[in-house]
Chains A and B, each alone.
Chain A
Amino acid sequence: MGRYVLRRLLQLIPVFLGTTFIIYALVWAIPQDPFAGKCGQRACPESYVAAMSEKFHFDDPLPLQYLKYMGNILTGDFGDTFSGVSVGEQIGAAYPTTVKLAVVALLIEALIGVTAGVLTGLRKQGFLDNLVLVSTLFLISLPVFVTGFVLRLYLGPQGLDLFDVGVDATDPTFGQLILPGFVLGSTSMAYVARLTRSSIAENRHADYVRTAIAKGQPTRRVVGVHLLRNSLIPVITFLGTDLGSLMGGAVVTEGVFNINGIGGLIFRGIQEKEGITVTGVVTMLVLVYLLMSLVVDLLYAVLDPRIRYE
C-alpha cells in the first residue's frame, strides 16, 4: 500500500511540473512585453523596468525563471505583484470563500445526487425515474451560467425571493452560498445521480446480492449494507475528484453571483496585467487538484479491498 502511494506520488510530480510550467510559459513567455500598459500610455521608466526585471528574474532563461518561481512557491512565497501587493495575501483573502463555495456545492450534489440515484436505481421505470432522468439531462446540458442566471432570476429577489442573492464581500455565510453552491454543483449533481443510479442498477443483480438474499438477510440490510457499500465506490471516488474541479470551475459561478473568490482574483489579475497573480492562483489550484486526485486514489484503496491487497 505504501508502495502504491509512493508510485502515485512519483507520477504526480512530473505532471505537476509540466502543467505549471505550461501555465508559467503562457503567462510570462508568450506576451512580447510584460510591461505593456503598466505605466499608462507611456513606456515605463528604465529604473522601474530594471528593478522589476531583477525582482522577477526576467533576464534569466525561461526554465530558470520557472524553477526559481516554483522554488519560491514551495516555500510559500507567492511573490508580489508589480505594484507590490503580496499575492499570497490576496490568495489568502479570496481562497477561503471559494473553498466554502466548493464545499457547499459538494455537499448539495452528494446529498441530492446520491439520494436520487439510489431511489431510481432500485426501481427502474416509473415516474420518479423519468423525472430524474429528464432533469439530470437538463442540468448536464445547461451551461452553468445559464442555470445560475435563471435560478437567480426566478428564485432570487426578483422572483420568488427564496434566496437572498447579496453575498457578503469578504466572508459569505453558508446560507448565502446555498444557491450559488447549488448552481456550481448542478452539473456534477446530475452526473452523480446518474452514476449512482447505474451503479445500483448494475449491482442489484450481482451474485453477492443473490447470496445475501439466500442467506435470509432482511431486504433493508441487503440493500443498505451489501448493495450500497459496493455501488457507492465509484460515486465516492468521483465526489473526491470533483472537489478539486469545483474549485477550479467556480470562476463562472462567482461571476454570476458576484462572489469574491479566486475567480475574481484571476480576472483582476488579467485586467491589471499582473501575471504573477494569475500564475499563483492557477498553480495553487493545479496543486490542489493533483493532491485531491492522490487522496481519491488512496480513498479508492480504502474503499475497495481488492485494490488494497493486490
Chain B
Amino acid sequence: MTALLEVEDLHVEFRTRDGVAKVLNGVGYHVDAGETLAVLGESGSGKSVTAQTIMGILDTPPAFVTKGAIRFHGEDLLTASDDRRRDVRGDGIAMIFQDALSALNPVFTVGFQIEEQLRIRRGMSRKDARARAVELLDLVKIPNAANRVREYPHQFSGGMRQRAMIAMSLALDPEMLIADEPTTALDVTVQAQIMDLLREIQVEREMGLILITHDLGVVADVADRIAVMYAGRIIEHADVFQLFRAPGHPYTESLLESLPRLDLKGQELKTIKGLPPSLTNIPPGCPFHPRCPRAVDVCRTDVPANHRLGLDRTSACHFAEEVVSRG
C-alpha cells in the first residue's frame, strides 16, 4: 500500500558564503490519510526544512536538494514540473505556519486571503467565495464569522489568528496538512484548543497531518506516530505509545528524561548537555555522540544504520536494542 505521502532519503544543502550546511541528511518518513505524524526535534534539526521541501517553497539558492524523492500518491514531486508542484500546493498538501501574524498578509482582509484561492483556483464567484469563507471561519470556531471575515489579521487575537490560518489552509480541501509549530507562539490554554481543533478537522476530513513541533507534551495527545529528528536525520521513528513507554534512542531517552515531572518534585532537572552540532561541521560517526551518555568509540567513527526495532519502528543507534529493552 502506498502511503499518501512518502519522503525518501532526502538530502538538502544550504550553500552560503560561510560554507555548505548539510541541513537534511537522508530524511525519510511517510504519512497516510487519517493519521498524524509528529516530527519532533530541536531548532536546527531540519524539521521545518523538510516540510518546506515537501511544499517546494525553499529558497533556491541558497538551498539545494541533492538527493531523494518526495512521493505524493506515488508521484515524485521533486521531478515534477513547476506547474504541477504549484497545483499540489493548497489543493493536495497545505501548510500552516508558526506565527500567524507574519504569515498572513497584513494589508488584506482575512476573507480576501481565504477567498483568493477559491476564486482563482476553483473559479468561484465573489459571492460564493465569500459565503464559503464564512463557512470555513465558522468551521474553525471563530465567532461572528460573517463580520470577522472583513477584518484584518492584526485585529484578531493570537489564537483566533491561528484558527483563521487553519481555515485558509482548508479552503481547497487538501488531502494533507503540514502544521509547522502551530501552537508554539500561543498560550498554553489556547494551545490545547488549537490542537483539539486540528484533531477534529483531521478526523472529519480523513486528512493526513504532519505536526512539526519541539514540544513533547503536544505530541503525546495528538500523534499516532512520531519521527524524532536530529542534525538533519530521523534518528527514531515509532508509534507514540511505544516511544513514550520505551524510547529506542538515547536522544529520545534524554528528551523524555528532561521533562519536568510533578512526582519528582524537588529533584534536579535533567538536561542534555552541550549544543546541537553546527550544520557546516557535523561530527563524524553518530551526530549525537558528543552529547550522548552512552557514547563509545564506535559511535565516534561509524554512522549508525537504521535498526529495525519492530513493525514500522526504527532507531538510528548502534545500541538501539539495548536502549529499547531498558525501558
Contact = CB atoms under 8 A, between A and B. Distances in A.
Interface of A: 205-208, 210-218, 221, 226, 229-230, 233, 303-306, 309
Query: Chain B contact residues (Cβ within 8 angstroms of A): what range?
Result: 20 to 34
B168 interface: yes
Contacts of B152: 305-306, 309
- Closest 9 pairs between A and B when the two form their complex, measured CB to CB: A216-B89, A216-B90, A207-B102, A208-B105, A305-B152, A215-B90, A207-B103, A211-B103, A214-B95
Interface of B: 55, 57, 59, 86-91, 94-95, 97, 99, 102-108, 116-117, 120-121, 152, 154-155, 168-169, 172
Q: Is the interface of A mostly helix, strand, loop or mixed?
A: helix
B59 to A, nearest CB: 7
B94 A214 contact: yes
A226 B108 CA distance: 9
Given A207-B99, A216-B117, A306-B154, A226 B59 contact: no
A137 to B, nearest CB: 25
Nearest to A229: B107
Given A210-B57, A309-B152, A216 B91 contact: yes
**Which of A205, A212, A215, A217 gathers the greatest number of chain B CB atoms within 10 Å?**
A215
Q: Is the interface of B mostly helix, strand, loop or mixed?
A: helix
Contacts of B88: 216
A212 B155 CA distance: 20
A176 B12 CA distance: 59
Contacts of A215: 89-90, 94, 116-117, 168-169
Contacts of B108: 226, 229
A217 to B, nearest CB: 7
Nearest to A230: B107
A303 B91 CA distance: 31
Contact of A218 (B86, B94, B97): B86
Contact of B106 (A216, A221, A306): A306
B198 to A, nearest CB: 17
Contact of B121 (A205, A216, A304, A305): A216
Contacts of A213: 57, 89
A208 B161 CA distance: 13
Contacts of A205: 59
